[in-house]
Amino acid sequence: GKTDTTKDLAKALGLLCVVTNCGEGMDYKAVGKIFSGLAQCGAWGCFDEFNRIDASVLSVISSQIQTIRNALIHQLTTFQFEGQEISLDSRMGIFITMNPG
């Protein structure tokens, strides 16, 4: 499926892929910590069942993703994320999978 394809591609490229099963209980702080770790170590994150996250939390998460995206576009090595300066490994990636229902 979608998640296995993402994991297999990461493996073929020699990258770590961390799979997170999303749910209603996830908040922007938890997701932000995961994003921060991915950015610093250059791993991929696959967020499975992303559609289960509450809509109010999704708006903050989209801002976090945009911050990381801007840092990648500008080829920064460090950037401000959630109130602290972190390093950025450009190999990092965020992948989102959703299922209907």
Q: Domain boundaries in the chain?
A: 2-10+17-96
Q: Residue 33: which residues within 8 A CB-CB, separation 6 or more?
A: none
Length of the chain: 101
At position 94, the amino acid (one-letter code) is I
Q: Residue 97: which residues within 8 A CB-CB, separation 6 or more?
A: 1, 2, 3, 6, 46, 47, 48, 49, 50
Residues 48-85 pLDDT 10s: 999 999 999 999 999 999 999 999 999 999 999 999 99
The architecture of the domain spanning 2-10+17-96 is 3-Layer(aba) Sandwich (3.40)
Q: What does the mean pLDDT of the chain come to?
A: 96
CB 86 within 8 A of CB 42: no
Residues 6-30 pLDDT 10s: 999 999 999 999 999 999 999 999 9
Tokens found for residue 59: 């708006």
For residue 49, give the 3-state DSSP assignment: coil
